[in-house]
Structure 1
């Protein structure tokens, strides 16, 4: 499936009804979700089992299934978000399991983890548990982070390595009262992390 077609399909995924600022519950925009997933797909990393940790309303998990992943599971602590994720998956006619679980309690083994963790804007270091646990769950991780995170990520994940990364624009829609613009374009970095070369 081409990236643009995937993006058009993911535009149908419903976002949060009542996002929580402390959890940094921003809906991953369809263009960014499609970009990350297509990147992973072209590297051969969307085939077997894919975990989406901190899945919110399920855009990355649903996209992974649309690209042909055999087994996809989304994890989040917000059961309301997971109800929307389940509804989204059913409306897209894909089979994705959504499990309500704290990041520290996720276990199992996946080929690939995809995630858009909190950037740490509200709670400093909130992306760290996501990175730590992703490394326990899969050999390959795709993750979105704030611009300028590369040095921190390389040190934090060692001995795993960043095999590829690039910067892209993230259209952040007004979600909370403290947002001043309807859409603010922020720069983010998408990383491919591997535990084996």
Structure 2
């Protein structure tokens, strides 16, 4: 699936019905999500199991499914967001065996057992070692994440905990961070034996959704990083 088609599908998804400011719940824009997922597909990183840390309403997880990932797990602590993610998955009319596994939990408190994730019907994907085209899944795990930027008081450096989780479980991770984060991400990855292989500037559109917002829409300058761990 090309990037434009993927973006059109993701534009159909609902955002947070009642966003929680303490979780910095801002929906990942469809164009940015499509760019991230398309890059992961081009790099072959969707050939391994995918984990969306802090999956929110499911944009990145569902984007990975649409782009061909065989095994996708979304981890989110907000039950209401998970309900929206499940509804979004139903809207896309994905085959049953291509639906993400949704896990309610704290993405910063791992480990995860990805191979044992449970489907809604009670079965697991432990034996799913091949993709729909008959090719074998790659070893390891790919993490996708749009972590909180740590802009709210008491939530400073929140993205650090998400990177730490990625370092624990990922072979490769993709994550979105505030502008001017490259030195921090490179240093954080290097301290854990990782390396930033790709870095892109990206615009992140935020619509008015909290009382303290003064603009109907604001465009944030962000950066997208691919890290090999």
Q: TM-score range by the shorter chain?
A: over 0.9
Using the alignment, how far apart are the partners of 1:98 and 1:65 within structure 2? 13
Q: Does residue 137 of structure 1 match 2:177?
A: no
Q: How does 1:39-78 map to 2 (within 5 A)?
A: 39-78=39-78
Using the alignment, how far apart are the partners of 1:21 and 1:126 within structure 2? 13
Q: Aligned to 2:199, what secondary structure does the other structure show?
A: strand
Q: How many matched pairs? A: 195
Q: In the alignment, what sits opposite 1:108?
A: 113
Structure number with higher strand proportion = 1
Using the alignment, how far apart are the partners of 1:23 and 1:188 within structure 2? 18
Q: Which runs of 5+ in 1 are unaligned?
A: none
Contact 2:199 2:225 in 1 (8 A): yes
TM-score, structure 2 as length reference: 0.83
Q: In the alignment, what sits opposite 2:148?
A: 118
Q: Aligned to 1:181, what secondary structure does the other structure show?
A: coil
Contact 1:108 1:137 in 2 (8 A): no
Match for residue 162 of structure 1 among 196, 205, 212 = 196
How far does residue 154 in structure 1 lie from its aligned partner after superposition? Answer: 1.1
Contact 1:143 1:190 in 2 (8 A): yes
Q: Does residue 97 of structure 1 match 2:127?
A: no
Higher radius of gyration, 1 or 2? 2
How far does residue 130 in structure 1 lie from its aligned partner after superposition? Answer: 0.6
Match for residue 213 of structure 2 among 158, 176, 179 = 179
- 1:23-43 CA deviation, whole Å, 9 max, x = no partner? 100011101100111111111
Using the alignment, how far apart are the partners of 2:3 and 2:91 within structure 1? 20
Q: Which runs of 5+ in 2 are unaligned?
A: 115-139
Runs of 4+ in 1 over 2 A off after TM superposition: 108-111
RMSD: 1.1
TM-score, structure 1 as length reference: 0.96
- 1:154-176 CA deviation, whole Å, 9 max, x = no partner? 11122201001010111111121
Q: In the alignment, what sits opposite 1:82?
A: 82
